[in-house]
Amino acid sequence: MLMECSDYGLTRTLERDNLNLNPLQRGGVLPAAARKALYEFGDGYSVCDYCEGRLDQIPRPHVNSFLDDLADFIKADAVRTVHGAREGKFAVMHALCEEGDTIVVDGNAHYTTHLAAERNGLEIVEVPSTGHPDYEIKPETYREVLEETLEETEVKLAVLTHVDGNYGNLTDAAAIAGICRELGVPLLLNCAYSMGRMPVELKTLKVDFVVGSGHKSMAASGPIGVLGMGAEWEDLLLKRSPRHEKKEVELLGCTSRGAPLATLMASLPYVRERVSRWDEEVERTRYLVSELEKMDGVRQIGLRPKEHDLVRFETPVFHEIASSHPRRGFFLYEELKKRRIVGIRRGQTRWFKCSVYGMTDRQVQYIIDSFREIVEENRD
């Protein structure tokens, strides 16, 4: 009895046995080198054997040179690992703002941007998107809202979602960074869905801060995030404790350590290589969209053509089938599962989000054919 209860259900073959369309999970699958690192560094505080008080300076494993390579990869002057993209955003807001300050945020921001601001006691002014069906964040709208807000109050920070998690829209970060620079407001770019999938370079986009998510898009087990900044922000963001002079206060001394860090490190060469093939991923995504849209009652929402692998579809065709199907809304999930395709939420048929990031052409074709077959077999 005790044996049965004590494993907490810790078995998982979903990723091995199925094709997983959940966008949240496509960029976090570990390559073999990272699985080995996960095993080697599973023990608590296992990266600390050769630590002399600073996580970012540990020589063995080579955390120090890894961070140099990571800074070079994202073209930032300084990089630290944090627990996730949200903790990176929280740290930047905390270092730059006082309670009651105002920040400007795009209307497609992730909930964690809002929570990071709330935990810091900040007022949020939102830049609206264009709404259905594109949900675009336009640079000119960003400028209008920022200018209007600046007439009323000081704005300590602007936040932009590089690629949002609802529509997979890529924003024009370089243009919005130019506007922020002109108006004297530092810009934090949230790259949770972009860094590690597509090229993200702080110096090229000319933003002040970037945050990334190891478990979302950098093939790391996590929880781990990346915080990159320009040199002018190092003193403020990485200020040391007067009492513990080696320790960086905003990071509470040390952030994610052990397996999350080891897997992020082990995956960097793999991530670098896959980012260099981003064009192929975009092509594959566009192919998926064009093939699925050949079916009546399937339409891609968000900006066209796709510039990112996360796709949102409106699917009245599946909603219609569900209305007369004995399994109702569950039919789609169940039909996909039969074909070993998972990652579309159970019971959902009006719309869904999906991603084929990292899949082969054959796998993508199989997914397209499966959707077609499901429509043909179930439509009356």
Q: Which residues bind ligand PLP (CB under 6 A)?
A: 84-86, 110, 112, 161, 164-165, 190, 192-193, 213, 216, 225
d(CA 347, CA 22): 15
Pairing between β-strand 225-229 and β-strand 311-314 as defined by DSSP bridges: unpaired
Q: How far is the CB of 84 from ligand PLP (least distance, A)?
A: 3
Closer by beta carbon to ligand PLP, 38 or else 368 = 38
For ligand PLP, the closer CB: 298 or 310: 310
- As measured in angstroms, the least distance from the Cβ of 373 to ligand PLP is 31
CB of 339 to ligand PLP, least distance (A): 27
Please name the residue that has the structure tokens 């995030």.
225
CB closer to ligand PLP, 225 vs 329 = 225
Contact (CB, 8 A) for 195 and 74: yes
The residue (of 110 and 312) whose beta carbon lies closer to ligand PLP is 110
Question: At closest approach, how far in Å is the CB of 127 from ligand PLP?
Answer: 15
Q: Nearer to ligand PLP by C-beta: 84 or 230?
A: 84
Minimum distance from CB of 73 to ligand PLP (Å)?
18
Q: Could you give the CA distance from residue 37 to residue 266 in angstroms, rounded to a whole number?
A: 7
DSSP letter for 170, please. B
- Asked whether 255 and 82 are in contact (CB, 8 A), the reply is yes
φ, ψ at 349 (rounded to 5°): -135, -15
- What is the smallest separation between the CB atom of 159 and ligand PLP, expressed in angstroms? 10
Taking the least distance from each CB to ligand PLP, the nearer of 109 and 332 is 109
Nearer to ligand PLP, 224 or 321 (CB): 224
If the CB atoms of residues 91 and 238 are measured against ligand PLP, the closer one turns out to be: 91
The DSSP 8-state label assigned to residue 21 in this structure reads -
SS3 for 52-117, per residue?
Answer: CCCHHHCCCCCHHHHHHHHHHHCCCCEEEEECCHHHHHHHHHHHHCCCCCEEEEECCCCHHHHHHH
How far, CA to CA in Å, does 330 sit from each of 98, 271, 322, 324? Answer: 48, 36, 8, 12
Distances (CA, A) of 214 to 68, 195, 230, 264: 17, 9, 20, 6
**Cβ-based burial of 24 (10 A; exposed 0-12, middle 13-18, buried ≥19):** middle
Residue (122 or 374) nearer to ligand PLP, CB: 122
| Cis preceding linkage at 128, omega within 30 | no
Tokens standing for residue 105: 């945020």
Q: How far is the CB of 161 from ligand PLP (least distance, A)?
A: 5
Smallest distance from the beta carbon of 59 to ligand PLP, in angstroms?
27
Please, what is the minimum distance in Å from the beta carbon of residue 21 to ligand PLP? 16
HEC profile of 123-166: EEEEECCCCCCCCCCCHHHHHHHHHHHHHHCCEEEEEEECECCC
